[in-house]
Structure 1
Amino acid sequence: MTYCVGMCLNRGLVFMSDTRTNAGVDNIATFRKMSTWSTPGERVITLMAAGNLATTQAVVSMLEERTKILAERFPSILEAPTMVQVAQIVGELVRDVVQSNAVGGQNADTTFHATFILGGQIKTGEPRLFMIYPEGNFIEASTDTPFFQIGETKYGRPIIVRAYDPDMKFEDAIKLLMVSFDSTIKANLSVGLPIDVQTYETDSFEIGHEFRVEPNDDYYNLISDSWGEALRTAFFSLPDFEFND
């Protein structure tokens, strides 16, 4: 399992993903879930993955191969004219990879399933964010649904829903997502540090801030401790419950 979030802000896009993969409590490893392709001044495309590791790595490797080897360039996400067409390319590739591994045809609940968050901007278009399903179809973020989560989503979602603001700065969005990730990590051992973070500012056509949060990161640990203390303070400030008898 994993946890990834892609978020739309008025300022641009924010991506955050953990790095834990596991096939049982005695087989835990670290793999990067976030991949980025760019043509400076023309496009930036970021992809995050959750699901079967072999499937997600196959999809990313094939996308990368198509951008480098002339015979495999079509269709390439670096040549598609719109982000919708990029989503179609990725969706078709996801479907083909899942089908090639599944016995008796592709099914959404197969052990080879994978889900992706795709975001970025191509010149002449606006920044866009998509969630791509194992079947190859996808949905796009909107003002009603301004962020997507994949993987272990339930523990961190309430925090984002309560505090999200499209006008927030990148710094505030990252702080919000760190709280969401910290809550998820504390509740589920299948999600863990390090965390990869990336921002993209509208019309910049270049990767913004990009960094990794390690387990010994001072700011992350401060956020974790402060959030726990704030929750305890808020709980004890609530009105006391009393039995009617």
Structure 2
Amino acid sequence: MTYCVGIRLNAGLVFLSDSRTNAGLDAISTFRKMMIYEQPGERFMVMLSAGNLSISQSVREVLQVEKIDNGTEEGLTIWNATSMFDATRVLGAAVRRVYEQDGAALKNAGVDFNASMIFGGQIKGEAMRLFLVYSAGNFIEATRETCFFQVGESKYGKPILDRVLTPATALDEAAKCALVSMDSTLKSNLSVGLPLDLLVYREGSFQSDEIACLDEHNPYFRMIHSTWGQRLREVFESIDDPRWDGGDAAHPLMVKSARYEPMRKITKPSERIV
């Protein structure tokens, strides 16, 4: 499995991906999930992938040369698209092309066609955009209300993203938030693993050198791991324990609900709770 997150902010974009794939407990490997497409001064795009590795790798290869008929000889590609929407259409077409080539064989082998991608960036002449592409090649776009996408093992790292991120969040703060989200996922799920690929893109730059690969020896990520766990314990320990004796408390537990009552006990076989 994997975990990837893409974030769109007013100031730029943040992308983070792990690199673990597994086909069982004894078949764990490292494959990078991030692809970067850059024409300095003209366009910058990043793709993160999750799902079946063979499908994801095929989509990457096809995307390099995939074109959509737009009435011109060269066709529409990620290299000449004038909008991120059109570039994402090309990615969707690449996904469908791989399905046409391999879908039937995978189905006969009992393998689902499972792949999803986060695709975002900026093309000169328009604002930054971020998309989530599904295995059917269709996609949705991030909005101000939902400014991030996750693929893979998303549930463990989502709470911190929900609580912290807004479009006005600073890029470095968002990168820190993404790393905390990843650390929470690493802690709870063995199918996600190091090293990590982290990229920050600043709005209007059409290129990025803020790219890092973080392994288990990376000082910053080790600090995130130890500090986040310690601070969570400190906050948890600062919260009052519940009191069951009905004694004086700032936040009493044993209070009557206007609508509900505590669960009744069954004390003999003939009793029913309805």
TM-score (norm 1): 0.92
Structure 2 counterpart of 1:135, which letter? A
Structure 2 counterpart of 1:213, which letter? L
1:11 aligns with: 11
1:102-141 to 2 correspondence within 5 Å? 102-103=103-104, 111-141=112-142
CA distance in structure 2 between the aligned counterparts of 1:221 and 1:40, rounded to whole angstroms: 33
1:87 aligns with: 88
Question: More displaced, 110-119 or 164-173?
Answer: 164-173
Report if aligned partners of 1:4, 1:18 keep a CA contact under 8 Å in 2. yes
Report if aligned partners of 2:16, 2:199 keep a CA contact under 8 Å in 1. yes
Confirm or deny that 1:52 pairs with 2:55: no
Structure 1 counterpart of 2:227, which letter? S
**Deviation, structure 1 residue 75:** 3.8
**Deviation, structure 1 residue 61:** 1.1
CA distance in structure 1 between the aligned counterparts of 2:48 and 2:106, rounded to whole angstroms: 25
1:211-230 to 2 correspondence within 5 Å? 211-230=212-231
Structure 1 counterpart of 2:10, which letter? N
**Deviation, structure 1 residue 104:** 8.2
1:35-184 to 2 correspondence within 5 Å? 35-65=35-65, 74-103=75-104, 111-184=112-185
Report if aligned partners of 1:44, 1:122 keep a CA contact under 8 Å in 2. yes
Report if aligned partners of 2:200, 2:211 keep a CA contact under 8 Å in 1. yes
Q: Count residues in correspondence.
A: 239
Structure 1 counterpart of 2:146, which letter? T
Confirm or deny that 1:29 pairs with 2:29: yes
Report if aligned partners of 1:201, 1:208 keep a CA contact under 8 Å in 2. no
Structure 2 counterpart of 1:20, which letter? R
Runs of 4 or more, structure 1, over 3 Å off, are none
CA distance in structure 1 between the aligned counterparts of 2:28 and 2:163, rounded to whole angstroms: 32
Q: Secondary structure, in 3 states, of the residue corresponding to 1:102?
A: helix
CA distance in structure 1 between the aligned counterparts of 2:42 and 2:105, rounded to whole angstroms: 42
**Deviation, structure 1 residue 208:** 4.0
CA distance in structure 2 between the aligned counterparts of 1:15 and 1:23, rounded to whole angstroms: 25
Structure 2 counterpart of 1:77, which letter? I
Report if aligned partners of 1:66, 1:74 keep a CA contact under 8 Å in 2. no
Q: Secondary structure, in 3 states, of the residue corresponding to 2:104?
A: coil
Structure 2 counterpart of 1:19, which letter? S
1:224-239 to 2 correspondence within 5 Å? 224-239=225-240
Structure 2 counterpart of 1:134, which letter? S
Report if aligned partners of 1:98, 1:113 keep a CA contact under 8 Å in 2. no
**Deviation, structure 1 residue 218:** 1.2
2:2 aligns with: 2
Structure with max Cα Rg = 2
1:194-213 to 2 correspondence within 5 Å? 194-213=195-214
TM-score (norm 2): 0.82
**Deviation, structure 1 residue 39:** 1.2
RMSD: 2.0
Report if aligned partners of 1:33, 1:49 keep a CA contact under 8 Å in 2. yes
**Deviation, structure 1 residue 215:** 1.1
CA distance in structure 2 between the aligned counterparts of 1:52 and 1:112, rounded to whole angstroms: 7
2:187 aligns with: 186
CA distance in structure 2 between the aligned counterparts of 1:209 and 1:225, rounded to whole angstroms: 24
Question: More displaced, 39-48 or 93-102?
Answer: 93-102
